[in-house]
Amino acid sequence: MTCEILVVEDEPDLVHTYERLLRRYDCRVTAAGSLAAGLAALAKNAPQLLIADLRLPDGDGLEIVRAARALPTPAPVIVVTGVASPATRDAAMAAGAAAFLSKPFSTKAFTALVQSLLDGAPR
């Protein structure tokens, strides 16, 4: 059975990398390049996992984290940022993120984290 993963990221190269890495999980990946597009995609179809950039061109990525956590079946969220600090990590975790990754990160760490979260998510 396939799963749904929503990627909210405004860097096309990184979206492509995520899609390539996530193919191995037999998941359908929906990409959104802005907060507005991410919220619309989230409202349309609840994913099993959400990967969200912290800084988006039209707003704060923490809004999508809160929206995902408010779903009837909350999706775990991996927050990714290139501007990591203890304060941004704390804010992401307080908003409900399951994990926090600083760019750049290793593909091994990313795939292990995805696998761990998908193993715990209903499909």
* Alpha-helix runs per DSSP H in 1-123: 12-22, 35-44, 62-69, 86-95, 107-120
Q: 34-91 pLDDT, tens per residue?
A: 999 999 999 998 899 999 999 999 999 999 999 999 999 899 999 999 888 999 999 9
Q: What is the pLDDT of residues 94-109, one digit of tens each?
A: 999 999 999 889 999 9
CA distance 73 to 80: 22
> Could you tell me the pLDDT band of residue 26, with boundaries at 50, 70 and 90?
confident
Is residue 91 within 8 Å of 62, Cβ to Cβ? yes
Whole-model pTM?
A: 0.93
Structural domains of the chain, ranges and CATH numbers in brackets? 3-120 (3.40.50.2300)
